């Protein structure tokens, strides 16, 4: 077993043991037989979780079992978050007890009589407060699942492009990203989100990757819903890092390649034009606008994208719109090498599915990994828009950073 895995499991075991100390304090008044039963049940669940984590990491069960990967494992991690939250109060109590212990020892050395009577039991009140505090993350995470997972928001933005052809002035672009159909549990809510997008009547629609979590069959039962996505100038899509099946186990390379072919076929069944390192030209009279689509290219993930290949033949278009799943592509390659790509559409980050957005203020832990992680960014005459994602993965909900449907209007100016 790898040393890193031992350390990882050891940390989780330490959290379980520490939380157990609080349980002992709470149930101390109960009958001995009942206390023993509670201890045994707790121990069994701890063992099951640790064995499950070992199987997921070392034996790669989670890579083969979607239920473990996207159901059981996130639930386990949420339980540890709850334990850490309540453990803060236990830690405060332990620091207090440590201070009393130090005073006791100092008093004993100098024969202070008050020190002999100083007791240092764990505080029942503070322990109960800690256990009660665990309800806060439980309630928050629960609300994020029940309400936040499908609380779709339409975000509208306007961009002025100096070289935009007159006939494309006012072009309304709809964008959705990161559907992750393998995570969904509410078809009615998903359908409602698509209805919201269509009510905005976009002229053209972009999908910027991650149709599934791992395998093409995940989207099968949602094809009737997503095939409703239509626009007068078409629907264009690209692939995200999850679409290649890189995060699951395959019996052979051929099986993995077949899965990617099936996924591409799903885009075709949906009526979407999948752009795999290629471009297409929209025309209105004599005016042209290029839509360029690259496969996934990210600094921290797979780099299947070939922007130079996709760009070939689009150079004469006065305005170029790029679909690229990972926003790190923008600073790494798009801006330094292709200064005439006007707007890049991305997704990928999900805004971490957790954060704060109040007016123009936004914060999420993901910002410490991605410079551009949600909304509109500008450098010179180039723009990047990062969609917060339509679906979710891992944690089956959203807190603060809600699922997004983007409507971008292009203006000449």
For position 116, what pLDDT does the model report?
Answer: 46
Q: Are residues 209 and 347 in the same domain?
A: yes
Q: Dump pLDDT digits (tens) for 139-194.
A: 777 778 888 899 999 999 999 999 999 999 999 999 999 999 999 989 999 999 99
Print burial letters for 311-350: b (CB count within 10 Å at least 16), e (below 16): beebeebbbbbbbbbbbbbbbebbbeebeebbbbbbbbbb
Q: Are residues 281 and 182 in the same domain?
A: yes
- Label residue 268 exposed, middle or buried (CB < 10 Å: 0-12, 13-18, 19+): exposed
For position 133, what pLDDT does the model report?
Answer: 65
Number of domains in the chain: 2
Q: Are residues 208 and 83 in the same domain?
A: no
Q: Dump pLDDT digits (tens) for 215-242.
A: 999 999 999 999 999 999 999 999 999 9
Which residue, 126, 145, 164, sits at the end of a domain? 145
User: Token pair for residue 87?
Assistant: 């453990």
For position 13, what pLDDT does the model report?
Answer: 79
Q: Are residues 219 and 331 in the same domain?
A: yes
Q: Are residues 133 and 162 in the same domain?
A: no
For residues 32 and 326, the model is more confident at 326
Give the mean pLDDT of 13-42. Answer: 78
Q: H helices of 110-245, where?
A: 113-116, 124-133, 135-146, 187-199, 223-226
For residues 135 and 248, the model is more confident at 248
For position 249, what pLDDT does the model report?
Answer: 84
Closest CA to 287 of 168, 196, 373: 168
- H helix or E strand, kind and range, residue 66: helix 66-67
Q: Are residues 156 and 75 in the same domain?
A: no
Which residue, 145, 168, 200, sits at the end of a domain? 145
Closest CA to 298 of 275, 336, 320, 324: 324
Residues of the domain holding 41 = 3-145
Is the per-residue pLDDT at 211 higher than 50? Answer: yes
Give the mean pLDDT of 95-100. Answer: 71
Q: Are residues 300 and 168 in the same domain?
A: yes
Residue 107 phi, psi (nearest 5): -65, -35
Give the torsion through C-alpha atoms of 90, 92, 96, 98, to 10 deg: 70
């Amino acid at each position: 077993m790898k040393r890193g895995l031992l350390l990882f499991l050891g940390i989780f075991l330490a959290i379980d043991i520490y939380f157990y100390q609080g349980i002992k304090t709470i149930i101390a008044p109960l009958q001995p037989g009942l206390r023993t039963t509670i201890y045994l049940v707790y121990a069994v669940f701890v063992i099951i979780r640790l064995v499950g984590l070992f199987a997921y990491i070392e034996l790669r069960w989670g890579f083969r079992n979607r239920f473990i990967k996207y159901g059981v494992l996130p639930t386990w991690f949420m339980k540890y978050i709850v334990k850490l939250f309540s453990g803060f109060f236990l830690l405060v109590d332990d620091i207090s007890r440590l201070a009393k212990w130090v005073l006791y020892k100092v008093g004993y050395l100098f024969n202070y009589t008050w020190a002999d009577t100083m007791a240092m039991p764990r505080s029942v009140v503070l322990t109960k407060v800690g256990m009660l505090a665990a309800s806060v993350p439980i309630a928050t995470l629960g609300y994020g699942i029940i309400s936040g997972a499908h609380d779709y928001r339409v975000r509208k933005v306007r961009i002025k492009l100096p070289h935009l052809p007159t006939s494309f002035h006012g072009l309304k672009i709809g964008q959705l990203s990161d559907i992750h159909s393998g995570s969904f549990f509410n078809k009615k809510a998903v359908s409602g989100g698509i209805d919201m997008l269509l009510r905005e009547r976009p002229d053209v629609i972009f999908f910027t990757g991650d149709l599934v979590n791992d395998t093409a069959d995940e989207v099968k039962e949602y094809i009737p819903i997503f095939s409703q996505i239509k626009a007068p100038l078409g629907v264009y899509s690209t692939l995200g890092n999850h679409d290649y099946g890189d995060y699951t186990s395959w019996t052979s390379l051929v099986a993995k390649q077949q899965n990617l072919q099936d996924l591409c076929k799903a885009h075709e069944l949906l009526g979407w034009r999948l752009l795999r390192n290629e471009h297409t030209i929209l025309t209105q009279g004599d005016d042209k606008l290029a839509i360029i689509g690259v496969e996934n290219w990210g600094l921290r993930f797979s780099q299947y994208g070939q922007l130079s290949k996709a760009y070939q033949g689009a150079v004469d278009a006065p305005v170029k719109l790029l679909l690229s799943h990972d926003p790190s592509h923008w600073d790494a390659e798009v801006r330094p090498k292709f200064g005439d790509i006007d707007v890049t559409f991305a997704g990928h980050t999900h805004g971490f599915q957790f954060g704060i957005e109040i007016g123009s203020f936004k914060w999420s832990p993901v910002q410490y990994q991605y410079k551009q992680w949600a909304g509109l960014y500008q450098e010179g005459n180039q723009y990047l828009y990062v969609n917060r994602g339509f679906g979710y993965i891992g944690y089956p909900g959203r807190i603060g950073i809600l699922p997004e449907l983007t409507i971008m209007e292009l203006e000449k100016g």
